[in-house]
């Protein structure tokens, strides 16, 4: 099978504008987009830059946009694209560092804002925590997030509102709030009770659509909203114990 790759190229330190470069690529085997990119780099153009690591859709390095679809290049088979033309672009709404390599700092910074770590209390229980399996199951959907950045990059709100935390960070917050071991006070996490936080989501569900790990971050945002309302009502109830 013969393919024409159109790959977005840009070195902000040299080029004025991004541009597409054409590469022809031929293979008889089943290849992923990542494998094809590596071969194109090795054989045709060693200046082509992109990130990769695990090649098994678990490390989150190789998120990019292929023929308009957000996905991990390692798990996208050329054949599945059903087209001899393969257009490869970096994740949008992020600064290009070089070619397909983007600056994910805004994504990581948003994550840090939700305090993405378990707020467990007290000493380590001698025989460990007791948690029912169902409770672990409930957070596992969000634990599966590999922080590849697809949802953040695809989110229409992120592209417009600079201070919006984005789907991954909010879903991660829900993962902790829902964890029976997490004792963060409501006043602490209710900081997301804003337009830059849980209420910023326009329920377009682009994040659910593009997530390569079926995390469905919007479920987490919805659940956060419900929890925010419930906690608010509780705090307003004068008869509460």
Partner 1 sequence: MLSHDILIVGGGLAGLSAALSSDPSLSVAVISKVHPLRSHSVAAQGGINAALGNNPDGKDDSWERHAFDTIKGSDYLADQDTAELMCQEASLTIYELEHLGVPFSRFPGGVIAQRPFGGAGFPRTCYAADRTGLVILHTLYEQSVRQNVRFYNEWLVTQLVVKDGRCLGVIVYDLENAEFMPVQAKAVVFATGGYGRVYMKTTNAFINHGSGIGAAYRAGVPLKDLEFVQFHPTSLLGKNILITEGARGEGGYLVNNKGRRFMEDYAPRSMELSPRDIVARAIQTEIDKGNGYESQYVHLDIRHLGAEKIKKRLPGIREICINFAGLDPIDTPIPIQPAQHYSMGGIDVDKNCASAVEGFYAAGECACVSVHGANRLGGNSLLDTVVFGKIAGKKISEYVRGANGVTDSEKNLLDAALKFKNRVEGWRKKDSGEKFHILMGRLKALMNEKVGLFRNKNELAQCLETIQELREAYEYVYISGPCLRFSQELVNIIEYESMLDLAEVITIGALNREETRGSHYRLDFEKRNDDEWLKHTLITWKEGKPQISYKDVFIGKYQPAERKY
Task: Please report, as ranges, the residues that interact with partner 1 according to CB under 8 A.
Answer: 11, 13-14, 30, 38, 41-43, 45-49, 51-61, 75, 97-99, 101, 104, 111-112, 115-118, 120, 124-133, 136-137, 139-140, 143-144, 146-147, 176, 179, 181
In angstroms, give the least distance from the CB of 45 to partner 1. Answer: 7
Kindly report the three-state secondary structure assignment for every residue of 84-114: CEEEEECCCCCCEEECCEECCHHHHHHHHHC
In angstroms, give the least distance from the CB of 218 to partner 1. Answer: 21
In angstroms, give the least distance from the CB of 35 to partner 1. Answer: 9
In angstroms, give the least distance from the CB of 182 to partner 1. Answer: 8
Which residue, 51 or 206, has its beta carbon nearer to partner 1?
51
Which residue, 153 or 225, has its beta carbon nearer to partner 1?
153
CA distance 37 to 43: 10
CA distance 158 to 52: 24
Which residue, 26 or 56, has its beta carbon nearer to partner 1?
56
In angstroms, give the least distance from the CB of 148 to partner 1. Answer: 9
Which residue, 182 or 231, has its beta carbon nearer to partner 1?
182
Which residue, 129 or 232, has its beta carbon nearer to partner 1?
129
């Amino acid at each position: 099978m013969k393919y024409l790759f159109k790959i977005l190229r840009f070195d902000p330190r040299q080029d004025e504008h991004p541009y597409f470069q054409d590469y022809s690529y031929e293979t008889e085997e089943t290849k992923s987009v990542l494998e094809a990119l590596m071969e194109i780099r090795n054989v045709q153009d060693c200046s082509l830059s992109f990130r990769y690591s695990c090649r098994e859709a678990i490390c989150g390095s190789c998120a990019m946009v292929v023929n308009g679809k957000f996905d991990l290049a390692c798990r996208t088979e050329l054949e599945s694209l059903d087209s001899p033309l393969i257009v490869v672009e970096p994740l949008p709404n992020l600064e290009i560092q070089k070619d397909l390599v983007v600056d994910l700092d805004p994504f990581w910074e948003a994550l840090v804002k939700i305090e993405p770590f378990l707020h467990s209390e007290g000493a380590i229980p001698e025989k460990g925590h007791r948690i029912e399996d169902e409770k672990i199951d409930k957070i596992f959907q969000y634990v599966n997030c590999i922080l590849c950045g697809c949802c953040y990059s695809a989110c229409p709100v992120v592209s417009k509102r600079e201070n919006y935390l984005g789907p991954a960070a909010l879903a991660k917050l829900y993962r902790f709030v829902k964890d029976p071991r997490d004792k963060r006070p409501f006043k602490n996490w209710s900081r997301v009770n804003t337009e830059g936080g849980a209420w910023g989501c326009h329920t377009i569900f682009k994040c659910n659509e593009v997530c390569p790990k079926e995390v469905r971050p919007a479920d987490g945002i919805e659940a956060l909203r419900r929890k925010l309302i419930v906690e608010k009502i509780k705090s307003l109830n004068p008869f509460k114990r």
